[in-house]
């Protein structure tokens, strides 16, 4: 940076004046590339304007709106300007504030002050922008003080920059103060900045009120509010607002909003919502970008439509590793282990490098398909061939793989040899495997340890009690149950979701709240009779040991997914699958029940449970009873 420079005081350009009014510059687009700027520069030189202050200042203005001009270049232009004026200096500030180190803008401003260069109202929004990019409250407050001292605090652009600055510094009270101070000095940008501030601060209710009050709204407003809901965990409201926007007849969409609502639909497993968003994307001809394509693949996969996910995947103009990861993990979660591995081979053939997430998908695929040797090979190749250190999730997949295959000693050896401390999930996976394969003694040791490590987690007590029951140690079963209730653990309530005619229906076990509750229970009775005629008997082993048998049958009868299935039979038209999302794992009996319904009543049922998909058809499940 050059030292003290003496500068004159020419009048600032008007904000509305064309930015590049000189002939070679006037041909430039609004956001010129470096090579376009270099061409214009060469043209200016050939016209003998290389030392014209006006020409070089405007060239600098072009750099300021270019995506990423190299600092050495715009500095060299600035240095060619004899007696740079405030216009030239503001443009250099702008270049610096957008660069890698926005603090350089502040350093340059300091130089301007030392050398007595005047400032104008265009100086401060740029400086405040620099403070916002690398949020620093003390620096921002100093710039605010300068703006005040020079009388620019009533400028709309300065105020908007202040609102953004304070919310970037998480100083939301100050931000709101600036917003409230001068109500006549606000525009849509001020409202949007304040709305974003409240969303950032997690004040979703305040943001909601503000959104309702806004005199006008644009694409930023809508996307801020929709993304605000989703990021703050209110997924349904985010999707609702998106629908409201579309119904209002004005579709304000950008990539970020679309990706957000697709991910909300994916998380909730809402196919109707996801399909609706896809139709909007097609209707407005929104380009299928990599991020959007990946979000669609993920949504369809998580909503149980792996064929639609594949369809989007193969129609994407370009696919990066994220898109491949979504597809590989999606196929794996549907239990199509071999297909996932084939896809992985294609991925490698295309010359792409797998990431840690790719291996989660691959190892999951091996585990779901019981491919033990392949799993071992891929796990070893992670570090050896690709330099990726296995993380907890990868170990989890391996323990699951060995556990399912009954290779309990190998799973134990893997856990004991880990360089990081195994977490409780890993031990719980092994405990589940011990129960499944009758490794009672080891299971009891692990179960006791887990209860010490996580005394509030009811799943450990249930598994340990089941192991004691397997060993016929009834006194110990009672003891574990007593311990469980004395420590006040409570089972996570199971729920199931079903989408019907654009509405969401959520059921919990034994639910009587649904408006068609009595019809639903009637339906359950009818199904029960039909299944009994076909020879189905409820398996009561998965209900707590100390409940009387009759009651057990009753409790199983009203597991949330049965209510959802009964309702699905009432409302989903014949020939279309009944799609259900469940938060917990399906119990053995509900699994059997769903298979029977698919056979006896001839309906396809797709259940996404806590960890995988079950496609029930003609009395069989895609998981081959292995979950």
Q: Which is nearer to Zn ion, 441 or 525 (CB)?
A: 525
Residues 6 or more apart whose CB falls under 8 angstroms from that of 88 comprise 53, 56, 57, 60, 78, 81
Q: How far is the CB of 554 from Zn ion (least distance, A)?
A: 12
> Looking at beta carbons only, is 320 or 625 nearer to Zn ion?
625
Which residue in 94, 121, 217, 614 binds Zn ion (CB under 5 A)? 614
| Contact flag: residue 607 with Zn ion (CB under 5 A) | no
For residues 186 and 612, which CB has a smaller minimum distance to Zn ion in the complex?
612
**Residue of 590, 597, 605, 606 interacting with Zn ion (CB under 5 A):** 590
CB crowding 565-602: b at 16 or more within 10 Å, else e: bbbbbeebeeeebbbbbbebebbebbbbbbbbbbbbbe
How far apart, in whole angstroms, are the C-alpha atoms of residue 163 and residue 173? 10
**β pairing state of 495-500 and 503-508:** antiparallel
CB of 125: closest distance to Zn ion in angstroms? 59
Task: State how far Cα 27 lies from the chain centre.
Answer: 41
> Does residue 399 interact with Zn ion by CB under 5 A?
no
CB of 194 to Zn ion, least distance (A): 48
Quick one: 305 or 415, whose CB is closer to Zn ion?
305
Would you count residue 621 as binding Zn ion (CB under 5 A)? yes
Q: Which is nearer to Zn ion, 168 or 623 (CB)?
A: 623
Stretch that binds Zn ion, among 386-394, 454-462, 477-485, 586-594 (CB under 5 A): 586-594
Site for Zn ion in 205-234 (CB under 5 A): none
Binders of Zn ion in range 519-578 (CB under 5 A): 559
> Shortest distance, CB of residue 335 to Zn ion, whole angstroms?
8
Q: Which residue is nearest to Zn ion (CB)?
A: 590
Three-class DSSP labels, 374-438: HHHHHHHHHHHHHCCCCCHHHHHHHHHHHHHCCCHHHHHHHHHCCCCCCCHHHHHHHHHHHHHHC
Angle (nearest 5°) at CA 347 between 346 and 353: 150
Say whether residue 587 binds Zn ion (CB under 5 A): yes
Residue 582 as a binder of Zn ion (CB under 5 A): the answer is no
Q: Which stretch binds Zn ion (CB under 5 A): 173-181, 300-308, 335-343, 611-619?
A: 611-619
Stretch near Zn ion under the rule CB under 5 A, chosen from 39-47, 291-299, 336-344, 613-621: 613-621
Closer residue to Zn ion (CB): 234 or 540: 540
CB-wise, 426 or 621, nearer to Zn ion?
621
Smallest distance, Zn ion to C-beta of residue 401, A: 18
Q: Which CB atom, from 310 or from 622, has the smaller least distance to Zn ion?
A: 622
With b meaning 16 or more CB within 10 Å and e meaning fewer, what string describes 406-444?
ebbebbbebbeeeeeebeeebbbbbbbbbbeeebbebbb
Which of 531, 587 has the CB closer to Zn ion? 587
> Residue 614: what are its φ and ψ, rounded to 5°?
-125, 120
Q: Please, which residues bridge with residue 605 across strands?
A: 578, 616
Are 537 and 588 within 8 A, CB to CB?
A: no
- How many DSSP H helices and E strands does the chain contain? 32, 6
Region from 29-37, 166-174, 533-541, 580-588 binding Zn ion, contact rule CB under 5 A = 580-588
Cβ atoms within 10 Å, residue 36 = 15
Segment near Zn ion (CB under 5 A); pick from 82-90, 288-296, 511-519, 615-623 = 615-623
Answer yes or no: are the C-beta atoms of 547 and 491 closer than 8 Å: no
Binding-residue pattern over the window 26 to 55 for Zn ion, x denoting contact by CB under 5 A? ------------------------------
Of the pair 207, 621, the CB lying nearest Zn ion is at 621
Q: Which is nearer to Zn ion, 429 or 496 (CB)?
A: 496
* CB-based contact 345:381 (threshold 8 Å): no
Identify which of residues 7 and 590 has a Cβ nearer to Zn ion in the complex: 590
Q: What minimum distance in Å lies between the beta carbon of 608 and Zn ion? A: 11
Rounded least distance, CB 619 to Zn ion, Å: 12
Q: Tell me which stretch binds Zn ion (CB under 5 A): 6-14, 373-381, 547-555, 583-591.
A: 583-591
Other CB atoms within 10 Å distance of the CB of residue 135: 16
Q: Min. distance of Cβ 417 from Zn ion in angstroms?
A: 32
How many residues interact with Zn ion (rule CB under 5 A)? Answer: 6
DSSP run (H or E) holding 364: helix 356-369
Nearest distance in Å: CB 611, Zn ion: 11
Positions in 347-366 near Zn ion (CB under 5 A): none
| Residue nearer to Zn ion on the CB measure, 465 or 606 | 606
The 3-state secondary structure of 535-588 reads: CCCCCCCCCCCCCCHHHHHHHHHCCHHHHHHHHHHHHCCCCCCEEEEECCCCCH
Judged by CB under 5 A, which stretch of 179-187, 403-411, 451-459, 582-590 contacts Zn ion? 582-590
> Taking Cα atoms as reference points, which of 170, 92, 91, 186 lies closest to residue 132?
170
Comparison of 314 and 626: residue with beta carbon closer to Zn ion:
626
- The C-alpha atoms of residue 464 and residue 460 are separated, in whole angstroms, by 6
Stretch 259-318 residues interacting with Zn ion (CB under 5 A): none
List Cβ neighbours of 236 (8 Å cut-off, separation of 6 or more).
Answer: 268, 504
Q: Check: CB of residue 480 under 8 Å from CB of residue 468.
A: yes
Nearest approach, Cβ of 605 to Zn ion (angstroms)?
10
Query: For the chain, how long is the longest CA-to-CA vector?
Result: 99
State the CB neighbour count (10 A cutoff) for residue 251.
Answer: 15
Residue from 112, 131, 331, 623 that binds Zn ion (CB under 5 A)?
623
Q: Which residues in this chain contact Zn ion in the complex, by CB under 5 A?
A: 559, 587, 590, 614, 621, 623
């Amino acid at each position: 940076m050059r030292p003290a420079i003496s500068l004159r005081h020419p009048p600032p350009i008007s904000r509305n004046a064309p930015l590049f009014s000189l002939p070679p510059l006037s041909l430039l687009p609004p956001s010129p590339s470096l090579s376009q700027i270099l061409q214009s520069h060469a043209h200016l030189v050939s016209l003998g304007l290389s030392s014209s202050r006006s020409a070089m200042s405007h060239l600098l203005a072009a750099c300021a709106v270019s995506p990423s001009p190299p600092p050495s270049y715009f500095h060299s232009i600035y240095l060619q300007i004899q007696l740079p004026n405030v216009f030239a200096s503001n443009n250099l500030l702008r270049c610096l504030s957008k660069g890698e180190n926005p603090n350089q803008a502040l350093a340059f401003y300091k130089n301007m002050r030392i050398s007595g260069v005047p400032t104008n109202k265009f100086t401060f929004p740029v400086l405040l922008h620099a403070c916002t990019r690398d949020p620093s409250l003390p620096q921002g407050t100093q710039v605010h003080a300068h703006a005040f001292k020079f009388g620019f605090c009533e400028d709309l652009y300065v105020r908007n920059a202040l609102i953004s600055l304070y919310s970037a510094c998480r100083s939301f009270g100050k931000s709101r103060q600036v917003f409230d101070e001068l109500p006549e000095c606000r525009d849509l940008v001020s409202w949007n900045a304040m709305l974003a501030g409240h969303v950032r601060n997690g004040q979703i209710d305040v943001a909601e009120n503000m959104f309702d009050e806004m005199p006008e709204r644009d694409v930023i407003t809508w996307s801020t509010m929709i993304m605000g809901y989703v990021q703050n965990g209110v997924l349904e409201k985010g999707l609702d607002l998106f629908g409201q926007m579309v119904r209002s007849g004005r579709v304000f969409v950008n990539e970020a909003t679309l990706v957000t609502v697709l991910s909300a639909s994916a998380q909730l497993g809402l196919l109707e919502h996801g399909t609706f968003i896809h139709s909007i994307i097609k209707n407005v001809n929104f380009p299928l970008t990599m991020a959007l394509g990946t979000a669609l693949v993920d949504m369809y996969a998580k909503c149980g439509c792996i064929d639609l996910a594949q369809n989007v995947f193969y129609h994407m103009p370009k696919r990066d590793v994220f898109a491949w990861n979504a597809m590989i993990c999606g196929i794996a979660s549907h239990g199509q282990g071999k297909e996932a591995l084939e896809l992985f081979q294609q991925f490698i053939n295309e010359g792409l490098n797998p990431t840690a997430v790719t291996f989660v998908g691959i190892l999951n695929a091996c585990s779901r398909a019981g491919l033990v040797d392949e799993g071992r090979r891929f796990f070893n190749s992670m570090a050896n061939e690709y330099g990726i250190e296995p993380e907890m999730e990868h170990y989890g997949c391996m323990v699951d793989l060995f556990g399912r295959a009954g290779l309990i000693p190998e799973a134990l050896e893997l856990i004991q040899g880990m360089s990081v401390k195994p977490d409780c999930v890993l031990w719980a996976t092994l405990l589940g495997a011990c129960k499944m394969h009758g490794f009672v003694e080891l299971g009891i040791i692990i179960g006791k340890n887990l209860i010490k490590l996580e005394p509030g987690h009811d799943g450990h007590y249930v598994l340990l009690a089941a192991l004691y029951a397997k060993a016929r140690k009834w006194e110990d079963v009672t003891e574990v149950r007593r311990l469980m209730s004395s420590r006040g653990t409570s089972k996570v309530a199971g729920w199931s979701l079903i989408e019907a005619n654009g509405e969401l229906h959520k059921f919990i076990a034994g639910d009587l709240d649904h408006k068609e509750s009595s019809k639903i229970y009637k339906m359950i009775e009818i199904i029960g009779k039909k299944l009994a005629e076909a020879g189905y008997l409820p398996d009561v082993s998965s209900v707590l040991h100390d409940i009387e048998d009759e009651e057990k049958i009753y409790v199983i009868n009203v597991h949330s997914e049965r209510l959802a299935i009964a309702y699905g039979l009432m409302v989903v038209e014949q020939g279309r699958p009944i799609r259900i999302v469940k938060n917990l794992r399906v119990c053995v009996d509900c699994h059997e029940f769903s298979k029977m319904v698919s056979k006896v009543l001839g309906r396809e049922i797709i259940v996404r449970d806590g960890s995988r998909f079950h496609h029930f058809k003609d009395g069989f499940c895609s998981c081959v009873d292995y979950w």
